[in-house]
Homo-oligomer: A and B are copies of this chain.
Amino acid sequence: MQDFVFHNSTKLIFGKNKEELVGQESVVYGKKLLLHYGGGSIKASGLYTKVVHSLHEHGIEIFELGGVQPNPRVSLVREGVALCKENDIDFILAVGGGSVIDSAKAIAAGAKYDGDVWDFFDGKAEITDCLPIGVVLTIPAAGSESSNGTVITNEDGWYKRSCGHTIMRPKFAIMNPVLTYTLPPYQTACGITDMMAHILERYFTNEKNVELTDRLCEATLKTIINNAPTVLADPTNYEARAEIMWSGTLAHNDLLGTGRIGDWGSHDIEHEISGIYDLAHGAGLAIVFPAWMKYVYKHDVNRFVQFANRVWDVEIDLNNLEKTVLGGIKKTEQFFSSIGMPVRLEEVNIDDEYFEEMAKKGTERGPLGNFVKLYEEDLVEIFKLAR
C-alpha cells in the first residue's frame, strides 16, 4: 500500500427534497452567487424555481450563467470568470451534472487567477486559490460533486484537458435521487458507465497490497451492476436511483483510490475521441474500456482474474486463467450493451479516419496510463480493437 493523504471535506446532503436546503447551505459563503447550469431541463422540471426561491429566502443576490454543454467549453468558462470578476461573486452554485460542476470549478479557479484559465489545463499554471462552490446534483455520473478535478474542452483545436486541486472540491453537494427520475435512459446509462469507469481506472493498478480498496471497488461495482437494470426499467424507483447516485459519488471521491496509483489511460483515450466527435463521455468509455482491457490484460492476468471472479462471478478456471479473464471482459462488454451503450466505434459511426491524429494528440504530453504505459502506437491498436 502506498502512502496517501485522504481529505475529502465535501458535505453530502442526501435524500428527498434536500434542494430546499440550498439557500441555507449557500449563504454561509456569501451573498453574491453565480448560478451556473446547462440547458432548460432544470427550468422544465421546476428545480430552477425551487433553487432560486431558497436562495432568495436567504437574501442571496443571484447572477446567472446557463448554457453549459456536455463536454463543457472553455469559452463559457471564460465568460463565467469575467462575470465573477466584474461582480465580485462570493460563491458559485452548480445545478446540474458533471459538465456543469466541472465548468463551475474551472470558473472558480479562473476567478482567482490573473491569466487565462486555460493555463491550468495545459500545464502553464498551478491552481492556488479558487472561489467556493456548491452543487445541486441532477445527473449521477461524473462524481464531480465531491472530486477535486475538472475536465474542459478547448474549441480551439478541440483539446479536452483536465486539472485538479483539493481546494476545488465543492463545499457541499445536495443529492436528491428524485431529481434523477427524469433522466432519459441513454443519459442514465452513460452516467452508470462513467461511474463504473472511475472505479475501473482505480482498480487496475500495479500496487499489490491493496485488499481493502480492491474490495471497496468491487462492492461499489456490484452495487451499480445490480441496480442499473432497475433504474432503466423503472426510472422512478427511489431505492435503485439512490444506490446509483450514492455509488457515483463514492466512485470518484478518492476513497477507492487510496494507497494505489490508478490507471486513467482509458479516460484520456476517451477524451481524444469525445474531443473530436462530441460523443457522450459515458458512451465513449463503454467503447474504450473493453478494448483497453483486451490490449493490456496480459500485463497482470491475476488482477483481471480477480476482477472477473469477484465482480462478474466468473468461476476461476485454474487451468485456463486467460479464459477467466476473457470471460470477465466479455461480461463487462455485455453489460454495457445491455444498458444501451455502444461498445464499438462503428456503432456510433466513427471510422478510422482520425485514429492516427487522436493517438498523436493524446500522447503529445507523454504516454498515457499507469497500469501499462501507452504510447502513440498503442493508442492506434486500442482504437482498432474498439472498431
Contacts and interface: CB of A to CB of B under 8 A. Distances in A.
Interface string A238-280: 1100110011001000010011000000000000000000000
Given A216-B216, A246-B258, 17 more contacts: A1-B238, A1-B239, A4-B15, A6-B11, A7-B10, A7-B12, A8-B9, A9-B9, A14-B259, A209-B242, A209-B243, A211-B227, A212-B220, A212-B243, A215-B219, A216-B219, A216-B220
Query: What 7 A-B pairs come out closest when comparing CB atoms?
Result: A3-B15, A9-B9, A215-B219, A209-B239, A7-B11, A219-B219, A212-B223
A220 B215 contact: yes
A314 interface: no
A14 B6 contact: yes
A18 B4 CA distance: 10
A16 interface: yes
B223 A246 contact: no
Contacts of A242: 1, 209, 259
Contacts of A218: 219
Contacts of A219: 212, 215-216, 218-219
Task: Select the residue from A1, A227, A243 with max chain B CB neighbours within 10 A.
Answer: A1
A222 interface: yes
Most buried by B among A6, A222, A226, A246: A6
Contact of A7 (B1, B7, B9, B18): B9
A318 interface: no
A141 to B, nearest CB: 16
Interface residues of A, number: 39
A82 B215 CA distance: 46
Contacts of A3: 14-16, 18
Nearest to A247: B212
Nearest to A18: B3
Nearest to A239: B209
A376 to B, nearest CB: 35
A2 interface: yes
A5 interface: yes
B5 A14 contact: yes
Given A212-B250, A222-B215, A243 B1 contact: yes
A112 to B, nearest CB: 21
Contacts of A211: 223, 226-227, 243
B4 A14 contact: yes
A83 interface: no
A250 B6 CA distance: 11
A226 B209 CA distance: 12
Nearest to A14: B4
